């Protein structure tokens, strides 16, 4: 491309780099310019407000920003408008689309209302427990968990683990075992 400001040939990359350098210099020292035409040419101080350079920068930004994204939950490619914004994510949007996020939140709230929990591993539900018919079991689990300094979920895991170990020991000692 031909730079109208400096009347010389420049690559797009060089133009963008000059704009970036000029913005940095202006941010550090507002109103600062080096003396002499060669120094001004090298500093790129005029590149900040260059109309031609601004067009190139806008085109470059359009090319870099994606318009579609694949949802981590359902695997469907959707436009960015289908994703909630997030400052913590690299591209500025959550990894799950809005409908999948709503489903996850709904599952979590329903599980909490029922007194159980939904845990995910490799996309599958491990365990969902409904204590609404047996509230005394939930109270018993809460007491046991508090005594052992565990969460209710960890207490259930412990009880399942202990039962499986007991069954293994019975199988080893029974004549039909090994």
pTM above 0.85, yes or no: no
Domain boundaries in the chain?
A: 2-64, 131-178
Task: Check residue 120 and give its pLDDT.
Answer: 52
Give the pLDDT of residue 62.
65
d(CA 123, CA 107): 13
**The pLDDT of residue 161:** 86
Tell me how far apart the alpha carbons of residues 83 and 65 are, in angstroms, rounded to a whole number.
15
Question: What is the three-state SS of the chain?
Answer: CEECCCCEECCHHHHHHHHHHHHHHHHHCCCCCCCCHHHHHHHCHHHCCCHHHHHHHHHHHHHHCCCEEECCCCCCEEEHHHEEECCCCCCCEEEEEHHHHHHHHHHHHHHHHHCCCCCEECCEECCCCCCCCCHHHHHHHHHHHHHCCCCHHHHHHHHHHHHHHHHHHHHHHCCCCC
Low-confidence ranges of the chain (pLDDT < 70): 26-49, 61-65, 115-127, 176-178
Q: Write down the pLDDT at residue 125.
A: 57
Output the pLDDT for position 32: 47
């Amino acid at each position: 491309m031909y730079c109208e400001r400096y009347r010389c040939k420049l690559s797009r990359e060089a133009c963008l780099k000059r704009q970036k350098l000029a913005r940095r210099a202006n941010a550090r020292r507002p109103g600062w310019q080096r003396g002499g035409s060669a120094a001004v040419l090298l500093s790129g101080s005029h590149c900040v407000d260059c109309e031609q350079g601004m067009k190139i920068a806008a085109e470059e930004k359009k090319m870099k920003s994606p318009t579609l994204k694949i949802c981590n939950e359902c695997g469907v490619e959707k436009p960015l408008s289908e994703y909630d914004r997030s400052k913590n994510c690299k591209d500025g949007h959550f990894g799950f689309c809005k409908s999948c996020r709503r489903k996850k939140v709904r599952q979590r709230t329903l599980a909490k209302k029922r007194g159980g929990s939904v845990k995910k591993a490799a996309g599958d539900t491990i365990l969902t427990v409904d204590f609404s018919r047996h509230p005394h079991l939930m109270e018993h689990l809460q007491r046991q968990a508090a005594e052992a300094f565990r969460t209710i979920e960890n207490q259930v895991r412990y009880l399942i683990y202990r039962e499986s170990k007991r069954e293994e020991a019975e199988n080893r000692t029974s004549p039909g075992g090994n």
